Amino acid sequence: MIYRAIGLMSGSSLDGLDIVFTEILENGGKWNYEIIHSECLPYSKEWTEKLKNATSLPALDYQLLHTEYGHYLGSKVNEFIARYQLQFKVAVVASHGHTTFHLPAKSMTAQLGDGAAIAAVTQLPVVSDLRAMDIAFGGQGAPIVPIGEQLFFPDYQYFLNIGGIANISIKGEQYKAFDVCAANRVLNMLANEAGKDFDEDGALARQGQLNQALLNELNGLTYYTLPIPRSLANSFGTDTVYPIIQKYALSPADALHTYTAHIVRQIKNALMVYKTETGTEQLLLVTGGGAFNSYLVERLQQALENIKVVVPDEQLVQYKEALIMALIGVLRWREEYNVLSSVTGAVRNSVGGAMWMGQEE
């Protein structure tokens, strides 16, 4: 069976909206994909500020933004469809939305982007609120991409996505996955201090010097001692980590160098504790914006002596998450499990996502 779907992903690093149109093939329980078209649409300064400040809004204004952003997403999908002449080719749109509040301990998660608004604007079936069912079953609601890693990438033992937050998946008798640490969101904030949107190729970090005291304080944060499954909200990077770094009053280069060392240390710690012992070559697939940071990837490979770090083609690096959102939408359409309880800690696997039927019967 072939499914043609659009996946939407807005990451915590606020670099833009990722859109993928993919053909997904299921044959005898084996799944394959082809990314036909993909784009990252940068947010305007206005939208960046709206999304960045969403959590400080009064309740009514937050709900109005939720609806407005849903209409924005729908309009971007329509433009994407027109640009690539995909009219009457898209079976379902799956939208992750933009995460604002994430409080699994209180059975709550929230992503901006009203699915009903997207469906009304596009007049297509839309799946949204992808994490809510798992949260209701007592899970972390994150990470949710392991279902796609399991079905699409059987040759890898480990998966690392370095976005605003770095998260890792580890195959084994039980599939494990969890958020490792804040990543690009903090790196970008530090690059902003040097007048840059981001530290291209980790060039500034490469020039900097390590501040051992800061590294020790960062590595001592309580989050890293919590048992898995565990997950992070965007506020961990902005409200906890960044103020600690600011306290040391370092140059942007030294701060970036030290925080890069912290990211590498936490990824290594996660893999050394939970890695699977096998007789085959150990492969780590690295995706997300951080995979373009050559300095970070070099430091990671140096730290992981017995694991080969693999950075795939640019399209998969950037659009893996949007691709898997499309798969999650297809699985929801098929009413099959699309969130794994072994990863999230929920009481059982779940069929996540609210379905909005925007088309006429």
- pLDDT, one tens digit per residue, over 97-136 is 999 999 999 999 999 999 999 999 999 999 999 999 999 9
Mean pLDDT, rounded, for 24-46:
95
Predicted TM-score (pTM) above 0.85 = no
Provide the pLDDT for residue 218.
98
Q: Between vectors from CA 104 to CA 101 and to CA 105, what angle results, nearest 5°? A: 120
For residues 310-319, one letter each, b for 16 or more C-beta atoms within 10 angstroms of the residue's C-beta and e for the rest, the string is: bbeeeebbbb
Cross-strand partners of 244: none
Assess whether the previous peptide bond of 42 is cis (omega < 30° from 0). Answer: no
Cβ-proximal residues to 169 (8 Å cutoff; 6+ apart), any chain: 143, 145, 146, 149, 158, 159, 160, 175, 176, 177, 343
Asked if residue 278 has pLDDT above 60, the reply is no
Give the SS3 label for residue 177: strand
Domains observed in the chain: 2-140+332-357 (3.30.420.40), 147-316 (3.30.420.40)
C-alpha distances (whole Å) from 26 to each of 4, 33, 36, 72, 94 are 12, 9, 17, 32, 18
pLDDT in tens, 218-232: 999 999 999 888 888
Handedness of CA 186, 187, 193, 197 (dihedral sign): negative
Q: How confident is the model at residue 8 (pLDDT cuts 50, 70, 90)?
A: very high
